[in-house]
Homo-oligomer: A and B are copies of this chain.
Amino acid sequence: MKIKLLGELGLIERIKNKVKPYQKGVVRGIGDDAAVLEYDKNNYLLFTTDSLVEGVHFSVKYSKPWQIGMKAIEQNVSDIAAMGGLPKYAAVSLALPNNIDVKFIDGLYRGINKKCKKYGISVVGGNITRSKKISVSVAMTGIAEKKYLALRSGAKKGDLIFCSGDVGKSAAGLGLLKHNKKGKSAKKHLEPSSRLELAGKLVKIGVNSMIDVSDGVASEARHICNESNVGAVIYADKIPISKNTIIDAKKLNKNALDFALYGGEDFELVFTAGKNKISRLKKLDVSAIGKIVGREQGVKLAMGNKKTELKMGFEHFQNKK
């Protein structure tokens, strides 16, 4: 069977069942935004890795080297943020064609440094290898206070589902770039920002589950439901989509809602919290977009009076972005 038939999630599930815990201290392994490992009395060590591959995640036609560097850091910071932690160290693996100019490296590290400075991260290692296409893999460690750790698996029936900022912007931007069109979303795709500071506030208020938006709100809602063994209803008209995203989606003859649900790379946060947190959450840049229900009710998208099963978001191997 080819992996495109199995799909990314099927593949992850298959791998998850294969790896065995040969080392103690694993609080949470494969299946969350970052691994959670025993560290000291009050803190966990977080460990995550994510890659940007030329032709899949970026094109040198429209991404500047420093934008690639910034995004490589942001997508890993976003994983650490979603766990309620703070990033500390990064190792950067580069695969590079040997005819690439040194200016590319200089630009890439200008971007990496800019974000490392912002978040207080030290790049402490990495490796370089030849390759036909550029790829930038970052592995990152971080620390989460035990009392503030957020997992995908803590959602409870009755929780409200929230989404930070606005979503769909990155996919709209990618669409513009691919079709040589202009619009404000393009920058959102090229220079996304994770929500580290916001995540720190959220875990202090108290969230029951959290995930970052890397594959679209639909995927993230499903991940939370699968890991928490619950169902959900997402209200389409509550999903925060900016005017710019709507304008740019129109230029592409696309529906902005599809970008929000199935696009990804927005690096916003989707999380659930009890109703008693609403008053405090309201003061932050978040929107209530749905509620957690029983597992038996499935994961639904409500549009007007109609409820449909929520499809998955962006998948490597099956979809073409």
Task: List chain A positions with a Cβ less than 8 A from chain B.
Answer: 1-4, 6, 8, 11-12, 14-15, 18-23, 25-26, 28-30, 34-35, 37, 40, 45, 47-51, 53, 55-57, 88-89, 91, 93, 95-96, 98-102, 104-106, 109-110, 112-113, 116-117, 119-133, 135, 137, 139, 141, 316-317
Question: Nearest-CB distance from A153 to chain B (Å)?
Answer: 15
B residues within 8 A CB of A55? 131-132
* Distance A77 CA – B88 CA, assembled complex (angstroms): 22
B residues within 8 A CB of A91? 35, 47-49, 139
Residue ID in chain B nearest A37 by CB atoms: B89
**B57→A124 contact, CB < 8 A:** no
26 A-B contacts (beta carbon < 8 Å):
A2-B102, A3-B101, A4-B99, A6-B102, A11-B128, A14-B105, A15-B126, A18-B106, A19-B109, A19-B113, A20-B116, A22-B116, A22-B117, A29-B122, A29-B125, A30-B123, A30-B125, A30-B126, A40-B40, A47-B139, A49-B126, A56-B130, A56-B131, A93-B139, A131-B133, A132-B133
B residues within 8 A CB of A19? 109, 112-113, 116, 122-123
